[in-house]
Amino acid sequence: MGVIAAVFLASLSGCSRSPLPEVVVYVAHDQIYSEPILRAFEARTGIRVKAAYDSETSKTTGLVQRLIAEATRPQADVFWNNEHAQTMRLREIGVLKKYTSPNAKTIPQAFKCPDGYWAGFGARARVIIYNTDHVSKPPDSVFDLVAPEWKGKVAIALPLFGTTATHAAALFEQLGPEAAKRFFRDLRANEVIVATGNSHVRDLVATGEALVGLTDTDDANCGVLDGKPVKWLFPDQQENGYGTLLIPNTVAIIKDGPNLEPAKQLVDFLLSTEIEIELAGSRASQIPLHEGLEAPNEILRLDGIRQIPIDFASMAARVPETMIFIREEFVR
């Protein structure tokens, strides 16, 4: 029995009439997956969770702007982000409070802040999804998407928000600004279809409005589980390939938030191996990061994926430059 189911059943045994402590969390991770986990935390600890979720089209970015606007009078205690670049931005401008959770000890250093301001868990990969009714030989590299054979047949989410924005910043860091700009210009010239979000990319590919797309493992996996005519693959896995971008969930405490101790408990809970197992076994199919933790699906093993060799801090520093280019030259 999973932690969510077990805690829910335990919560039915009784209730307290005393006032409950509370924690306020801003959540960019999909509500369908995050809300049951937060309810399980409530049931286990007796701490009331007040959660604010963001929309598919502006998630992460909208919450980050809200946290920045509230910096002098914080309303939130915890930020559960669905990626890392914007979390690192908040660290740089002083919105986050240092807290090293004991549960972060077995998370690889590459997926957590060296100074203890945030930690990652339950990663998604940026993958190529394709329509199996129309595509027998899918592209196996992100850079194949600009080939003439895919003109007008490729979908990506608007790269101003969420994991697609993170992916864009990663390209700017790994390739260099000029090569990354050329790639996005080539995508635009190849009549790329710009979707409202990653799930929209999946749906466009499933219906055949696009034949190939860039999305995340959770959205792609849901398409497969729902019986849609789609499959997906990790791109750039060749020996000298660019590699696949892994994007962890991240969690951090907000500086001067009103409920520090409950915030620490929530961070500890989210960084536990139990939650990584829940996320890996769910429809989201997220990749466990804890060292030695077995993934329920062989394909989700961290050591089986050729990753982009990227420094998260350097990539996060590319975000402003990347967003300016995307707004001024890609989105028109």
Q: How far is residue 147 from each of residues 57, 143, 154, measured CA to CA in Å?
A: 27, 8, 10
- Domain of 200 in residue numbering reads as 124-245+317-330
Quick check: is 78 in a domain? yes
Residue with tokens 């600004």: 177
Instruction: Please tell me whether residues 88 and 201 are part of one structural domain.
Output: no
Quick check: is 60 in a domain? yes
Instruction: Please tell me whether residues 57 and 75 are part of one structural domain.
Output: yes
Residue with tokens 């250093």: 109
On the CB side of 121, CA atoms within 13 Å amount to: 29
Instruction: Please tell me whether residues 138 and 48 are part of one structural domain.
Output: no
Quick check: is 312 in a domain? no
Structure tokens given for 128: 């190529």
Instruction: Please tell me whether residues 114 and 138 are part of one structural domain.
Output: no
Around Cβ 94, how many Cβ atoms within 10 Å? 11
Quick check: is 139 in a domain? yes
Q: Counting beta carbons within 10 angstroms of the beta carbon of residue 69, is it exposed (0 to 12), middle (13 to 18) or buried (19 or more)?
A: exposed
Instruction: Please tell me whether residues 188 and 323 are part of one structural domain.
Output: yes
Instruction: Please tell me whether residues 161 and 95 are part of one structural domain.
Output: no
Quick check: is 310 in a domain? no
CATH number, residue 180: 3.40.190.10
**pTM value?**
0.85
Instruction: Please tell me whether residues 105 and 136 are part of one structural domain.
Output: no
Residue with tokens 């219906």: 207
Contact (CB, 8 A) for 249 and 123: yes
Instruction: Please tell me whether residues 12 and 103 are part of one structural domain.
Output: yes
Quick check: is 273 in a domain? yes
On the CB side of 174, CA atoms within 13 Å amount to: 18
Instruction: Please tell me whether residues 186 and 234 are part of one structural domain.
Output: yes
Instruction: Please tell me whether residues 252 and 153 are part of one structural domain.
Output: no
Quick check: is 311 in a domain? no
Quick check: is 309 in a domain? no
Contact (CB, 8 A) for 89 and 58: no
Contact (CB, 8 A) for 248 and 120: yes
Instruction: Please tell me whether residues 28 and 100 are part of one structural domain.
Output: yes
Instruction: Please tell me whether residues 322 and 280 are part of one structural domain.
Output: no
Instruction: Return per-residue pLDDT of the chain as tens, 332 residues.
Output: 565 555 444 444 445 455 789 999 999 998 999 999 999 999 999 999 999 998 654 556 789 999 999 999 999 999 999 999 889 999 999 999 999 999 999 999 999 999 999 999 999 999 999 999 999 999 999 999 999 999 999 999 999 988 999 999 999 999 999 999 999 999 999 999 999 999 999 999 999 999 999 999 999 999 999 999 999 999 999 988 999 999 999 999 999 999 999 999 999 999 999 999 999 988 888 999 999 887 777 667 888 899 998 888 888 889 999 999 999 999 87
User: Domains in the chain: how many in total?
Assistant: 2
